Structures are given as C-alpha cells and as structure tokens.
Amino acid sequence: MNEEKVGAESTPAQAQEKQVVTEARRRRRFLIPSAWQTLLLPILAVFTGLLIGAIVIVITDATVVATYRNFFRAPGTALAATWRCIATAYGALLYGSLGSPREIYEGLKIYQSTGDNALFLRAIWPITESLVAATPYIFGGVAVALGFRCGLFNIGAEGQIGIGALAAAWVGYSITNLPALIHLPLAILAGALGGAIWAAIPGYLKAKTGAHEVVNTIMMNWISFRLSDWLLNGPMKAPGYRPVTPNIEPTAALPRLFPPPIRFNAGFFLALIVAGLVYWFLFKTTLGFEIRTVGANPDAARYAGMSIARNIILAMLLSGALAGLAGTSQVLGVDHWVGQGFTAGYGFDSIAIALLGKSHPWGVVLAALLFGTLRSGATRMQSLAGIPIDIISIIQGLVIVFIAAPAIIRWLYRIRVERAEEVVLARGWGK
Amino acid sequence: MATTAVRAEQRALTMGRSQWLGIAFLMAGLLTFILFGRGLEAGLRTKFGLNPGFGSQAISIPDLILPTQSTIYTLVVIMLLLGVLQLVRGFRFGDALLGVVAFCFVFAFLTWAARGKSFSLVGMLSSSLVRATPIALAALCGVMCERSGVVNIAIEGIMLMSAQAAVVVATVTKNLYMGLAAAILTGAIVSAFHAVMAVSFKVNQIISATAINIFATGATSFISARFLEKNVNLLNNSGTFRVIPIPILSKIPLLGPIFFENGLIVYLMLLIVVFIHILLFYTPWGLRVRAVGEHPRAADTLGINVYLVRYVSVILGGVIAGIGGAYFTIGSVGRFDEIMTAGKGFIGLAAMIFGKWTPFGAFASSILFGFADSLQIKLQILRVPIPSEFLLMAPYIVTMIVLTGVVGRAIPPAADGEPYEK
C-alpha cells in the first residue's frame, strides 16, 4: 500500500482519486443547502400528512362521495365538489389559525385613523390564539426533547403538566397580598417544581433500579389523574358544584399584552427564552454535553467517567420541570384555574412535537408553532366547515410516522438524502 | 481480613432483601392492626357471600360468616409471625411469603370494610376476572410481540380501533361474530403496520407505536364525531355477547360462577393464555420466536427467518389485541365511546412486565389489576371512608413497586426493542 502511494505521484490511480475527491466536493456544493436539506423532510412529512388529511376529509364527506356515483357522466362536478370541500376545510383552517392579512391591515388603518382598535383586535385574534396554543407545546416539546437527548422516553409529560398546573394554581390562589414581582415567579417556580418532582420519581427509579421509565411515567400519569380528580373534588375545590380550583390571584397571572378578548400573554416569550436556555444548556455546557453523551452512548459515557445515574436523574428532573412549566403557562397565562381533564393530550402532543423538531430546541419551537396553528385553526374548521377537530390527531400521527420513517417520504418523493443526523430517541425496556 | 470483609459484604447483600422483606411483613402486620384492628366493637360479624346472584346455575353453599375482630387479630398474628420468621430464618425465597402477607392484608382490609355488613366475595372475584380480560389480552399481545423482540406500546391504539370496528360492523351486519371478526382483522392490520415500521423500516419501535396511538385516538374520535354520533342506532348499537354458562362446570360452587359463567371474550382470553403458553414453550415455532427475541443473529445463523418470525408474532399479537378491543364494545357495553380503552393497553404492558413476559404470569398480574379495579367499585358501595381516587391509584403504585424489583427482577428478552439488521 505504502510503496504504491510513494511512487504514485502521478499515476492514473492517484489522478483518479483526486478527481473523485473534487467531484464529490463539487457535488456537495451543488446539493441543496444543508439548512434547507434538514428542513426538507419535516416539511414534506407535514405536507404529506395534510394531503392524507385532505383525502380523509373528502372520503368522509357524504355529499362529495355522492357526486362520485356518476363520476363518468360528470367528472367535472365531482372534481369541483372535491376541490370545494378541501378548500372550505383548509381555508377555514388557515383563516382560523392566521386570520386574514387584509383584515389585519384594514384594522390597523382604522386604529391609526380613529383610535378604535376593535376591528384590529378581531383581526389578530386567530394568530394570537395560535401563539397561545403553541406556548405549552414549546415547553412540552422541549421537555420531551431533553429526555430524548439523554436516551429517555418521557411519556409522563401528561402527568407532569397536570401536576405543574395544580402546583402553580395552588400557589396562585392560596397566597394573597403578595406583590406580583414575588408572587408570579413563585407560582412559576412551584409549577416547575411540581413537574420536576413528578418526573424525578421515575427518573430515580430508572437510575437506581433500572425500572423502565416508559411504564413508570405512564403509571405516574394515571396516579396524577386520580390525584388531581381527588384534589379538584376535595382540598383544592372552589366553592360551588364544579370540580375546579379557585381563580388565581391577579398578582400570579402572566401579564397579557392586549385587552381582554385576546389571551396572548407573556408566557409565549417565557417559552422562547426557556427554549433558548435549554439550547444553551444542551449544547454549550458540560452538563448538557454529559447528558447528550449518556443518550448517545451510555457505555462511552461510563468509560469517560460520567455518572449515568446522575445524568438520568438530572435529565428527567429538568424534563419534568419543563413539562411542569407547560401546565404553569397555561394556568397562569390563559385559564387562570384548573379543571378536570385539564391535560387532555398535551403530553402526547409534546412527543409528536419533540420528534418533529428532531429533539432540537429550535426545531421544537418551529414544530410547536406549527401544531399550535393547526390546533387553533382546527377549532375554527370544526365550527365553520363541520370537520371534527380530531383530524389534527390523525395528521399528527401520520407526521410522526413520516418523520420516524424517512424512507417512506424519500420513496414517495424520490429524494436521495446523503446525510442523516441520528439522535438516539429511546431504547427497549432493559437497556 | 480482606476476605472476611468481602464475605461480610456479600452476606449483607444476600441478606439485605430478605431482611427488608421481614421488616416489611412486620410493618404490614402492625399497619393492619393500627388501621383495622383497633377500636372495633366486639361482636361485629362480617358476612362474605359465596353465592352469586339470581340466575346463576351454581349449587349454593352457605355463606362465610366471620367474627370481625378475631379474624383480623388472627391475620395480624400470622403476618407478625411470618415477619419474625423471615427476619430470623431469612428465607431466600420470600416471594411466596410476600403473597401470603399481601393476601392477609387485603383479607383483613375486606373484613374490616364489610364489618357488620355482608359482602359478595364471589361477585367481586367474578367481576375481577371480567375486568381483567382486556388487560390480560393486552398483556398477552405484549408477550407475543416482545418475545420476538418487538416492543409494542401501540396496544392501546390497536384496541381502540378494533373496539370501534367491532361495534360498527356488528351493528351494520347485526351479527356480533362478524363484529369480532372485524376487530380481529383491524387488530391484525394495525399491528402489521407496526411490524412494517419496526421490522422492515427499522423505525424506533416506541415512536412507531406512539404514532399509532395518536393516530388511533384521532381516527376513532373523528369517525365517532362524523358518523357514529349522528346514527347511533344504525352504526353504534350492537348489543353484547350473552353470558354462556358452561354446562356442568358452572355448577361448581365458588369456581363455577367465577370461571364458567362468562361471555365469549372471557373464555377466549382464558383459552389464549393456554394457547400462547403452549405455543411459546412447547412448539418449534415458539422456540424460534424466543430465539429471535433473545439473539436474532444466532437465530439467523441457524437459518431462522428473523423478519418472518417477527412479522408473524406481531400480527398474532395484533389479533389478540383486536379481541381485547372487541371486549370494550361488543363484549361489555355494546357501543363505542371516545377513548374508552382508558389506558388499559398500558396497564396490560405493566401486567406483562409484572408477569415476567410469560403468559400465565401476565394473566395472573392482570387478575390483580382486575381485582383492584372491582375492589374499588365494591368499596364505594360499602361506603368505606377512603376516597375512591386513592383506591384507583393503588394498581399503578403497585406496578411501580413491582417494576423496581421488589418482587424479583424482571428480565426482558435480550433483543427486545432492537431492530435486526441483517
């Protein structure tokens, strides 16, 4: 080998090798830019999910299906009906999630000329609702993503969100006569702490006994449901017959940025800041590096002298705190009280968002914004076009499938992707 | 010196668990005395009904009437005695004793809860089995999948979709058996999808399953909102399987009403437990399944088609979960409600781990969950001053305690959850 190389300064083999290298370089340069490439698969996954969602909407619409009975006599009618059905549904979705730019512009004009902001507020209501819906998703998604980075599958976000919300609400309503400057941070802290404790239990058990976190977090979810049922019917019940907590004190509420009908509040910015902090923690600190190493290769981590148990507990604790914040932001910013069935799928949605965001805080923020808009738009779609809001869960499930199995998307769209970042997401029961 | 130290340490390690058990037994005994034994008025009696209600074919036997106070004291003494024995003698296999103590504790609790009243023991045990049925079927699906090395936490979603398919098909065709067939088919198809993702596409199995769960929740709720709610009588009103008493066996007192007076799906579940046990441990196919779950590469070297074995196992698991789904609609209430599985699929997984990946173990742990479930309802009727929410929590807490290895360590199949790369 060596001899060949020494004497092969100008042999055809050497030249050929050089050519291959430059060729590869050139090809790399002509490939799609890497940022775009990273986004391509998620975008196509979401697109395909929406496409299949549209098909589901059409084939479950009796009137459209009826037009297909005489498709061969009048194909135009059938196609037009199909198009109208999809346009109505997704038009309502879009309008319900982002509003209409024209209306916003006109509202702004009227506000500037007359000082009447009613129209403007009505025009921006959909888009603010999307951001409100995205807020707990950002926290929840980052929570699950942080677990993924450590090789932990935190299915318990649901329970942690619930406990966080209850803890925040408790501090929010039970303490009175406290300045907002102390009360609000205290309530937020309580929410984070509630979630952290709830996640630390399965985390500790995983680290010390190897009991799998998936089952234990699911069990903790059920325990938290029962516990909150009991609390809402007993110690934390507001006077009256409904099983809800009392309203929190105004001093514990996250400040709202617009007058009443709009619920947009400082929680959204808090979420962005926290996502930034998690990014910094994971990628710029030693502890974050350790967590990622334990997630990527526990054996290597152990060999390098990192304590796997400590990192697992730490990651679970932080993940729980973030999930707790998801509940906290919802209670302190939006609802101001907690009722039964409060968590309603936030935890599972968070898993989808963490996956779609490739377990990266910025990716999670984007995914959360997307799901927030879908979720708030779907409410409008339900009222305007009569399409059940559950279509969103169908699309969500499909998107996860396509994200998890990029091979399907690549096959569908004939894409060759040369590079794939692999994040260890979860392992089997025992390891 | 060093060797003595090491030996002492080893002894401490081996003695640790056994001593802890002993202390736990003593604590259980004391707790029983403090909670149930103190402050009982003398002369109270507890009546345990050993006969089922009207319409049962079982030969009736006299009910069990116990003096409350002395029964509880006896149970306390037994627990304390076992605790002392365990501490002094240090039995290596405390598991059986743990079972005895747990039984004593539950029995003392029941005796206390039903003091001065009567309590249908047979009724409760019988409803335990019924309530355990979907959990057991979920657990058996888990056993089948995981023995072949595929983690399947999609059972919840599979059962939900099967439940809906069962009720719709049964209502439309007016035939419950067609409904059951539809449930089985749905279970098989959804599970096959999981197999495609997990085995062929090598997708992380937990993620694939989570996607199925989210999709199933959305799809069933969507169909429910779009079709079922508007046409309840046309699509969502199937009726349920009738109770079929098995001729002679149902006449046996105690056991008859519990095991031999049930609906079709309960019998199917009992048969499947035996079937899976025989399949896994007494057939060449079962040996292959276990080999693939433990060491796929070795199995492959011996000429076993790893992918085929995994596909068949996962699809068979889907069939079982499909039957479990059918239980929710055509097996018990005759209509579909949104998210009616309520986590039974996940509890089934816990039962599977609890049962150490064996069919009978999974079945026994499912019974335990079913027991806790029906106990909670019976205690509400008895007006026990414990919030029902805490009773409902008990099975989940028990699962966590079990998972942490108090009752011996559960070891999953070695290749569980890992895609096989040929």
Tell me the pairing of strands B118-120 and B45-49: parallel
Determine contact: B63 vs chain A, CB below 8 A.
Answer: no
- Inspect the interface and report whether the beta carbons of A219 and B214 lie closer than 8 Å: no
Angle at Cα A24 formed by Cα A21 and Cα A25, nearest 5°? 85
How many angstroms separate the CA of residue B323 from the nearest CA in chain A? 23
Q: What is the pLDDT of residue B286?
A: 92
Determine the residue among B148, B199, B226, B421 to mutate to test chain A binding: the one whose Cβ has the most chain A Cβ atoms within 10 Å: B226
**Mind listing the pLDDT tens digit for each residue in B122-148?**
888 888 899 999 999 999 999 999 999
Q: What is the pLDDT of residue A8?
A: 44
Angle at Cα B250 formed by Cα B245 and Cα B253, nearest 5°? 145
Task: Please return the burial class of A60, using the count of CB atoms within 10 Å of its CB with bins 0-12, 13-18 and 19+.
Answer: middle
Residue A339: half-sphere exposure toward Cβ, Cα within 13 Å: 7
DSSP at A245: P
- Inspect the interface and report whether the beta carbons of A400 and B227 lie closer than 8 Å: no
**SS3 call for A346:** helix
DSSP conformation letters of A53-120: HHHHHHHT-HHHHHHGGGTTT-HHHHHHHHHHHHHHHHHHHHHHHH--HHHHHHHHHHHHHH---HHH
Q: Give the residue from chain B lying closest to A210, CA to CA.
A: B404
- Inspect the interface and report whether the beta carbons of B412 and A429 lie closer than 8 Å: yes
Task: Please return the burial class of A93, using the count of CB atoms within 10 Å of its CB with bins 0-12, 13-18 and 19+.
Answer: buried
The band of A428, judged by pLDDT with boundaries at 50, 70 and 90, is: very low
Q: What is the pLDDT of residue B53?
A: 66
How many angstroms separate the CA of residue B402 from the nearest CA in chain A? 9
Percent of chain A surpassing pLDDT 90? 23
Determine contact: B406 vs chain A, CB below 8 A.
Answer: no
Give the other-Cβ count within 10 Å of A8's Cβ.
Answer: 13
Angle at Cα B327 formed by Cα B321 and Cα B332, nearest 5°? 165
Q: Of B315, B294, B321, nearest to B196 (Cα)?
A: B315
The band of A7, judged by pLDDT with boundaries at 50, 70 and 90, is: very low
For A180, phi then psi, to 5°, come to: -60, -30
Residues 6+ apart with CB under 8 A from A89: A54, A57, A381, A385, A387
Q: Which residues of chain A from 351 to 390 reach within 8 Å of chain B, CB to CB?
A: 351-352, 355, 387-388, 390
* Model confidence at A301: pLDDT above 50: yes
Q: Compute chain A's Rg from CA coordinates.
A: 26
- Inspect the interface and report whether the beta carbons of A351 and B417 lie closer than 8 Å: no
Determine contact: B210 vs chain A, CB below 8 A.
Answer: yes
Determine contact: B27 vs chain A, CB below 8 A.
Answer: no
Q: How far apart are CA A136 and CA A353, in angstroms?
A: 11
Task: Please return the burial class of A241, using the count of CB atoms within 10 Å of its CB with bins 0-12, 13-18 and 19+.
Answer: exposed
Sign of CA dihedral B72, B73, B78, B84: positive
**Mind listing the pLDDT tens digit for each residue in A338-370?**
888 777 778 888 888 888 888 889 999 999 998
- Inspect the interface and report whether the beta carbons of A393 and B349 lie closer than 8 Å: no
**SS3 call for A399:** helix
The band of A278, judged by pLDDT with boundaries at 50, 70 and 90, is: very high
What six digits make up the tokens of B364?
């026994």
| Residue linked to tokens 């006077």 | A239
Q: Which amino acid is at A289?
A: F
- Inspect the interface and report whether the beta carbons of B210 and A219 lie closer than 8 Å: no
* Model confidence at A291: pLDDT above 60: yes
Determine contact: A234 vs chain B, CB below 8 A.
Answer: yes
Which chain B residues contact residue A388 at CB under 8 A?
221-222, 225-226
- Inspect the interface and report whether the beta carbons of B353 and A153 lie closer than 8 Å: no
| Residue linked to tokens 């983690």 | B151
Q: 3-state secondary structure string, B240-283? A: CCCCEECCCHHHCCCHHHHHCEECHHHHHHHHHHHHHHHHHHHC
Q: Which residues of chain A from 245 to 284 reach within 8 Å of chain B, CB to CB?
A: none
**Mind listing the pLDDT tens digit for each residue in B308-328?**
999 999 999 999 999 999 999
Determine contact: B392 vs chain A, CB below 8 A.
Answer: yes
For B115, phi then psi, to 5°, come to: -65, 135
Determine the residue among A64, A148, A223 to mutate to test chain B binding: the one whose Cβ has the most chain B Cβ atoms within 10 Å: A223
Percent of chain A surpassing pLDDT 70? 87
Q: How far apart are CA A380 and CA A127, in angstroms?
A: 12
**SS3 call for A339:** strand
Q: What is the pLDDT of residue B89?
A: 75
Determine contact: A348 vs chain B, CB below 8 A.
Answer: yes
Q: What is the pLDDT of residue A419?
A: 52
Determine contact: A230 vs chain B, CB below 8 A.
Answer: yes
Q: What is the pLDDT of residue A326?
A: 93
How many angstroms separate the CA of residue B178 from the nearest CA in chain A? 23
- Inspect the interface and report whether the beta carbons of A215 and B349 lie closer than 8 Å: yes
Q: Give the residue from chain B lying closest to A221, CA to CA.
A: B396
Q: What is the pLDDT of residue A431?
A: 41
Q: Give the residue from chain B lying closest to A230, CA to CA.
A: B389
pLDDT average, residue stretch A259-288: 91
> Which secondary-structure segment (H or E) carries A187?
helix A180-209
What six digits make up the tokens of A74?
């009048």
What six digits make up the tokens of A384?
């305007």
Q: 3-state secondary structure string, chain B? A: CHHHHHHHHHHHHHHHHHHHHHHHHHHHHHHHHHHHHCCCCCCCEEEEECCCCCCCCCCCCCCEEEEHHHHHHHHHHHHHHHHHHHHHHCCCCCHHHHHHHHHHHHHHHHHHHCECCEEEHHHHHHHHHHHHHHHHHHHHHHHHHHHCCCCCCCHHHHHHHHHHHHHHHHHHHCCHHHHHHHHHHHHHHHHHHHHHHHHHCCCCHHHHHHHHHHHHHHHHHHHHHHHHCCCHHHHCCCCCCCCEECCCHHHCCCHHHHHCEECHHHHHHHHHHHHHHHHHHHCHHHHHHHHHHHCHHHHHHCCCCHHHHHHHHHHHHHHHHHHHHHHHHHHHHCCCCCCCCCCHHHHHHHHHHHCCCCHHHHHHHHHHHHHHHHHHHHHHHHCCCCCHHHHHHHHHHHHHHHHCCCCCCCCCCCCCCCCCCC
**Mind listing the pLDDT tens digit for each residue in A231-254?**
988 888 888 788 888 888 888 888
Q: What is the pLDDT of residue A6?
A: 44
DSSP at A256: B
The band of A33, judged by pLDDT with boundaries at 50, 70 and 90, is: low
Determine contact: A394 vs chain B, CB below 8 A.
Answer: yes
pLDDT average, residue stretch A32-61: 80
**Mind listing the pLDDT tens digit for each residue in A109-162?**
888 888 777 788 888 888 898 999 999 999 999 999 999 999 888 888 999 999
Q: Which residues of chain B from 122 to 151 reach within 8 Å of chain A, CB to CB?
A: 146, 151
Low-confidence ranges of chain B (pLDDT < 50): 1-3, 6, 10-13
Q: Are B28 and B101 in contact (CB under 8 A)?
A: yes
* Model confidence at A164: pLDDT above 90: yes
The band of A2, judged by pLDDT with boundaries at 50, 70 and 90, is: very low
Nearest CB partner across the interface for B206, out of A60, A209, A426? A426
**Mind listing the pLDDT tens digit for each residue in A216-233?**
888 898 899 889 989 988
Q: How far apart are CA A72 and CA A75, in angstroms?
A: 6
Determine contact: A344 vs chain B, CB below 8 A.
Answer: no
Q: Give the residue from chain B lying closest to A228, CA to CA.
A: B389
Nearest CB partner across the interface for B215, out of A205, A212, A393? A393
- Between helix A157-174 and helix A213-233 the angle, nearest 10°, is 30
**Mind listing the pLDDT tens digit for each residue in A167-220?**
999 999 888 888 888 889 999 999 999 999 999 999 998 888 877 787 788 889
How many angstroms separate the CA of residue B389 from the nearest CA in chain A? 5
- Inspect the interface and report whether the beta carbons of A391 and B218 lie closer than 8 Å: yes
Q: Are B356 and A429 in contact (CB under 8 A)?
A: no
- Inspect the interface and report whether the beta carbons of A219 and B212 lie closer than 8 Å: no
Q: Of B188, B179, B182, B164, nearest to B328 (Cα)?
A: B164
Residue B21: half-sphere exposure toward Cβ, Cα within 13 Å: 27
Q: Give the residue from chain B lying closest to A407, CA to CA.
A: B201
Q: How far apart are CA A60 and CA A54, in angstroms?
A: 10
Question: What ipTM, to 2 d.p.?
Answer: 0.78
Q: Which residues of chain A from 149 to 168 reach within 8 Å of chain B, CB to CB?
A: 153, 155
Q: Give the residue from chain B lying closest to A204, CA to CA.
A: B404
Nearest CB partner across the interface for B404, out of A155, A211, A230? A211
Q: Cα torsion for B372, B378, B382, B388, to the nearest 10°?
A: 50
- Inspect the interface and report whether the beta carbons of A234 and B153 lie closer than 8 Å: no
Which chain A residues contact residue B214 at CB under 8 A?
348-349, 351-352, 393, 396-397, 400
Nearest CB partner across the interface for A396, out of B214, B350, B417? B214
